[in-house]
Each structure stands twice: as structure tokens, then as C-alpha cells.
Structure 1
Amino acid sequence: MIDVGVVGASGWAAVSHLPALAGLAGFRMAAVATTRQDSADRVAAAHGVPLAFADAAELVAHRDVDLVVVSVKAPEHAGLIRSALAAGKHVLSEWPLAVGPDEAEELAALASSAGVVHAVCLQGYWSPDARFVADLLAGGRVGRVESVALSASGAPFGGGCLPPELAWTTDPAGGTSIVTIMAGHFLAMLEHVAGGFAEVSARLPRRHDRIVVAGRAVPNRLPDEVLVEGVLRDGATASLRVRGGCGSPDGFALEVVGSRGVLTAAPTRPDHYPHWTAWDVRVDGAPVRVPDAYRGTPFGPDDGPVAGVAELYREVGRAVAENRRPHPDFHTAARLHRLLATVEAAAGTGGRLPIP
């Protein structure tokens, strides 16, 4: 049994990590922490968690916590992760791991030295549908892959408005934007399905000089859209478009052109991101059903983000039991941070840059 402590339990974790843990065998929710004792007590009571803290350091140090889940704002990740590693705890961090590639690489090195299991919540790697498509392509279902194109919604980032709870993301130093969050998740999924990028060119348009947050117009210094083109390591071309917008996402479209056929995928739930929903997969227009064997948790396509997060927890549990690195770990996250930094650099120069 792995005893889990969740830091930042009243936000995103409350609708993803906590429900996932509640439905999985092999995990016990031992502790939660938020910034206030009253909110920590409410979350603990709602989810039947025995320990509640207003001080994350108490949770990290507690003897009943084996795995620390870091689900706070990105600038606060590094400090919490360092503390958890120093305490000898396993760590699962939300994405983005850090506020930049240098910090991410430092954390990856520290985690390796600590000898604990370290993972990052890029749950698209464990999306049953993405894994199935990756296996189809690896098995040659459409022949040699020649081109890959993914277009997806990045809402609520990148539009002319933001919900009040995301007001803090208007500061580029916060490490949270349509580039880091949305393009990060989608690039990770695209690489998982079709292979890693060898080089990229990019554009990061900014159409809105000001955006509306809680009825007030504030300066906008972040991109509204992400356009990436590149070449994968095996020579196939690849492109990603992340379109911004207010409100909920409005779907995605994946097209893989091979030497012997074309695979397409679209969401069964247009109001979900590709790593949150089941896919309508087709090869040359004919539907291809994702086998039930790819779904290993009690959660299904209608459970939204909980399903992918639960699949990731199963991988973390296996890694702890087998004393090995999980996938994706901090090193995977550091490479993705470096890819995003290269995308931003390519957009700044207007040229094509290799991935370090």
C-alpha cells in the first residue's frame, strides 16, 4: 500500500488526483495540504483523508506519507520537490515540472541522486487511446509514417479573456501559459504517438494586447496561439497548432499519413482535451475500436481527466513495486521543457532549430 500526501489539494487535484486515488487499489490517501487549515479540513472531510495540513512541510515530513503529490502553482514546485526528495519520499509532480529547462534538469538530477521514484503528470502518455494509436503506428498499420498533424484547442488560454482563478497566469514568470501547459501536453502526446522531434520552427502569435479577467482589462504579454512545424527523428514531418480561446476546449483533430494509409482521430467528447477523452480512431475512414485491454482502471471515457491520471498512478505504483523509473519521469519532463524552450527560441529567430 502506498500512502499518498497531496499538496494543493483544493484546486486541480480535487477534480483529478483525489478521485483517481479513491478508485484505485494499492493507494491510500493519507494527507492533504492547502494554504489554509479550514480548506484543508474541508477537503480531508470530503474525501475521507485522515490528515490535513496548512503547512506543506508538515505533510512532506510526516511518517505516514510515502508519495508526495505536488499540485500547486508551477513556481512553487521546485521548493516542494526538493523538500520531498530530501525527506526520501517518492514524488509525483504536476506539469510543468518547473519554470524552465535549467530548473527542470536540476530537479531531475536531484531526483535520480535521491534514489526515489519520481514522475510528472503528463497523463497523455497513459491515455489508452493514445497508447493504442502509438501501437498501431509502430506496428505498421498505415505503413511508414510520412507526416503527422495535430490541431487542438488551448482554451481557456490564448483568448481575449481568462477566468478569475487563472488571473495569476498573465505573468510570464509564472511558467503557466498556452505554451507551457497546452502545447506541453500536446507535444508530449504527439511525440508519444509518432516519435520525437529532431528539429522545429515555430510561431507564437499574440493578437490580444489586453485580456479581460474578472471584468477588468489587463495587459497581455503571452502568446494566443502556438504553431510548430518540424521533422521527427525518423524523417517524418510533424506540425502542431494550439488555438487559443475563452471557455471550454472545442476538440482536436489528429491526422497521420503513412505510406499505405491514413489514420485520423477526433474526440468523442469535443469539450475535452485529447488527453482527457476517448478518441474516434479511423484508418482510411473505417472506425477502429480501442481494445478494452488498454483501459486498466475503473474509470472510462466519461470520467474526463480522472481516467488518464489514474492510469499514470498505476504506472507509479508499478515503478515503486519494481524499484524502477516510471514513465514519464523528471528526465522526460526536463526534455519536454527543453523542447518548449527550443520552440520559443525558434519563434524568436524565425529559423529552424535542432532539439538539444
Structure 2
Amino acid sequence: MIRVGVVGAGGWADGSHLPALAALEAFEVTAVATTKQAGADRAAAAHGVRHAFADAGELARHPEVDLVVVSVKASGHAAVIRAALDAGKHVVSEWPLGVDADEAGELTEAATAAGVVHAVVLQGHHAPSARFAADLLADGRIGTLESVALVAEGAPWGGSRIRPELVFGLDPAEGTDILTIMAGHFLATLERVAGPMAEVSARLPRTHDRVLVTGTERTVPNATPSHVLLHGLLASGATASVAVHGGHGPIQDAFLLKLVGSDGTLTATPVQRGTFIHWGDWDVRIGDDVLTMPDSYRTVPAGVRSGPPANIAALYQEVARAIAEGRQPQPSFETALRHHRLLAAVERSAADGTTQKIA
């Protein structure tokens, strides 16, 4: 049994990590932490957890914690990860790993030196539909891949309005915006299907210098992009075109992914309208033929096969295997670092108008 401590249990983790872990027999959540003791106590009571902390370091040092889950704001990831590494604990961190590629590099180096298992939550890596589509390409169902196009909605980031709890993300130093969160997850999913990007040429338009805080008459300054536009080449030589357009929601069509091969074209759209590419099931077609994904691609218990817990549960299954086998899971901190470098290349290209190689 892998004993888990969840830092940030009162936020995103409440509807994603905690249900996912509760559904898996290999894990037991033994501790939770939030910024205030009262909130930690409520989270512990709601999920039947016996230890509650207002200090992430105290949770990480507890002898009944083997693995620390980091589910706080991106700007707070580094401190919690370092506390876990100092305590010799395995770590699962939400994406993004750090606020930028430099911080991600430092954390990856520290995790490697600590000799623990480390993973990052890029849900698209374990999404059943993404794995199914990747296998169709690998099996040659559309011939040689020639081009990839992805159009996706990036709300709740990039619009003229923003929810009060997301205002912090309008500061680039927080590492939480349409490029890092939305395009970050979307590009990771695209790469899971079609292979890694090798070079990019990008633009990051900022449509709104100030945005309205929803439910108020207050506007706040915005220094983050409204849209993410890029063209590039995959390592395979296929071209790639990605447009992530911002807004304030609600999500409508969510995404359209098109993979054009020498012998056919694969398209993917969400089965459930308004579902992000890295969360839900896809309607996959080659030409006019609708393809049914085999049940073997679904590995998590039936109770967590929809919404955010589904692919997070699949990641935890991979983490459990990695711990048992003495190896690093996929995606690991190394995977996250390479993905941070992709986003850094997008930013450099947008800033100076050059084509950037992906390190």
C-alpha cells in the first residue's frame, strides 16, 4: 500500500486527485494539507483521512506518508516539492512543474539527486482516446503522417472577463495562463498522439490589456496572452499548426484535431461537447468511418472513468507500477522539463519572430 499525502486538498485535488486515489486499491490517502488548519480538518473529515496539516513540510515529514501530491498554485510547487524531496518522499506534481523552464530544471535535477519516483500530471499522456489515436497512427492506418492541425478553446483564460479566483494568473510570474495551462496540456496531448515537436514559430497576441473581474465592476491589468498561435515541424517531419483561442467560457466545441496522412485523414472531436482534449473521450474517425475504441484502453475503475479523475487515476496506476519496478513513470519530471522547454521556445519565437528549435 502506497500512503499518500495531498497538499492543496481543498482546491483542484478535491474533485480530481482525491476521488482518483480513493478508487485505487494500491493507494491510501493518509494525510491532507491546506494553507489553514480549519480547511485541512474539513478536507480530512470529508475524505476520511486521519492526518490534517496547515504546513506542507510537516505533512512531507510524517512517517505515514510515502508519496506527496502537489496540487497548489504553480508558484507554490517548488517549495512543496523541495520539502517532499528533503524528506525522501516520492512526488506527483500537478502541471506545470514550475513557473518556468529554469525552475523546472532545478526541480528535475533535485528530484534526480533525491533518487525518488517523480511524476507530473499531464492527463493527455494517459487519456484512452489519445493512446488509441496514437496506436492507429503507429499501425499505419492513415499511412505516413504529413500534417497535424489542432484548434482548441482556451477558456477560462484569455477573455475580456475572468473569474475572481483566477485573477492571480494574469501575472506571468504565477505560471498559470492560457499558454502554460491550456496550450500546455493541449500540446502535450498532441505530442502523445503524433510525436514530439522539433521546431516552432509562434505568436502570443494579447487582446486585452485589462479585463473585467466577473461579478464586479472592477477591471485589472493583464500581462498574459489572449491566444496561442504556432506553426512548426514534428520530429517525424510532419507539419503542425495549433491555434488556442482564449475566452471566458463557457466552452462550446472545445477542440478539433486533424491528422492528415499519405493514405487518409484522422479527425477527433469531443464525444461530450465542451470537454477538453486531455479530459474526455473522443469521437475518432478516419474518413467517414467512425472507429470504436476497444475497452482495453480503459484501465481505471468504472467509478472514475469520466471527468478529471479518470486520466489522473491512470497516471497513479503508472506511478504504482513505477514504484514497484524501481523506475521512473511517464510522464516524469524529465518529461515536464522538456515540455517547459517547448513552451519557452514558443515564448522566444513570439518575442523575436524567429523559428525556434526545441531543446
Question: Corresponding residue for 1:24?
Answer: 24
1:171: how far off? 1.0
Q: How does 1:255-294 map to 2 (within 5 A)?
A: 255-294=258-297
| 1:91 counterpart letter in structure 2 | V
Q: Is the 8 A contact 2:117 2:329 kept in 1?
A: yes
d(CA) in 2 for partners of 1:295, 1:164: 36
d(CA) in 2 for partners of 1:24, 1:282: 32
Aligned partner (choices 337, 355, 359) of residue 352 of structure 1? 355
Query: Is 2:333 the counterpart of 1:330?
Result: yes
Question: Corresponding residue for 2:238?
Answer: 236
Question: Corresponding residue for 1:163?
Answer: 163
Question: Corresponding residue for 2:227?
Answer: 225
d(CA) in 1 for partners of 2:92, 2:26: 16
Q: Is the 8 A contact 1:252 1:270 kept in 2?
A: no
- Using structure 1 for the length normalisation, give the TM-score: 0.98
In structure 2, the gaps of 5 or more residues are none
After superposition, the C-alpha distances for 1:216-273 in whole angstroms (9 at most, x for unaligned) are: 1111111110001100111100111111111332211000000000000000112221
- Tell me the SS of whatever aligns to 2:96: coil
- Using structure 2 for the length normalisation, give the TM-score: 0.97
- Tell me the SS of whatever aligns to 2:319: helix
Question: Corresponding residue for 1:123?
Answer: 123
| 1:290 counterpart letter in structure 2 | M
1:298: how far off? 1.3
Aligned partner (choices 286, 291, 303) of residue 306 of structure 2? 303
d(CA) in 1 for partners of 2:105, 2:200: 21
Query: Is 2:48 the counterpart of 1:48?
Result: yes
Structure 1 window deviating more from structure 2 (243-252 vs 78-87): it is: 243-252
d(CA) in 2 for partners of 1:204, 1:332: 24
| 1:293 counterpart letter in structure 2 | S
d(CA) in 2 for partners of 1:79, 1:228: 32
d(CA) in 2 for partners of 1:38, 1:344: 40
The structure-2 alpha-carbon separation of the partners of 1:50 and 1:100, relative to structure 1 and needing over 3 Å to count, comes to same
Structure 1 window deviating more from structure 2 (205-214 vs 220-229): it is: 205-214
Q: Is the 8 A contact 1:299 1:306 kept in 2?
A: no
In structure 1, the gaps of 5 or more residues are none
1:114: how far off? 1.0
Q: Is the 8 A contact 1:299 1:307 kept in 2?
A: no
Question: Corresponding residue for 1:146?
Answer: 146
Question: Corresponding residue for 1:187?
Answer: 187
Q: Is the 8 A contact 1:158 1:245 kept in 2?
A: yes
Q: Report runs of 4+ in structure 1 exceeding 3 Å deviation.
A: 299-302
d(CA) in 1 for partners of 2:58, 2:202: 44
d(CA) in 2 for partners of 1:256, 1:236: 10
Q: Is the 8 A contact 1:10 1:40 kept in 2?
A: yes
Question: Corresponding residue for 1:342?
Answer: 345
| 1:134 counterpart letter in structure 2 | A
| 1:232 counterpart letter in structure 2 | L
After superposition, the C-alpha distances for 1:98-117 in whole angstroms (9 at most, x for unaligned) are: 01111111111111111110
After superposition, the C-alpha distances for 1:4-38 in whole angstroms (9 at most, x for unaligned) are: 00000100000100010111111001100001111
The structure-2 alpha-carbon separation of the partners of 1:115 and 1:264, relative to structure 1 and needing over 3 Å to count, comes to same
Q: Is the 8 A contact 2:56 2:83 kept in 1?
A: no
Aligned partner (choices 245, 248, 272) of residue 247 of structure 2? 245
The structure-2 alpha-carbon separation of the partners of 1:283 and 1:104, relative to structure 1 and needing over 3 Å to count, comes to same
| 2:276 counterpart letter in structure 1 | Y
Q: Is the 8 A contact 1:2 1:66 kept in 2?
A: yes
The structure-2 alpha-carbon separation of the partners of 1:305 and 1:35, relative to structure 1 and needing over 3 Å to count, comes to same
| 1:99 counterpart letter in structure 2 | V
1:91: how far off? 0.1
d(CA) in 1 for partners of 2:317, 2:291: 26
- Tell me the SS of whatever aligns to 1:152: strand
C-alpha RMSD of matched pairs (Å): 1.1
| 1:244 counterpart letter in structure 2 | G
| 2:297 counterpart letter in structure 1 | Y
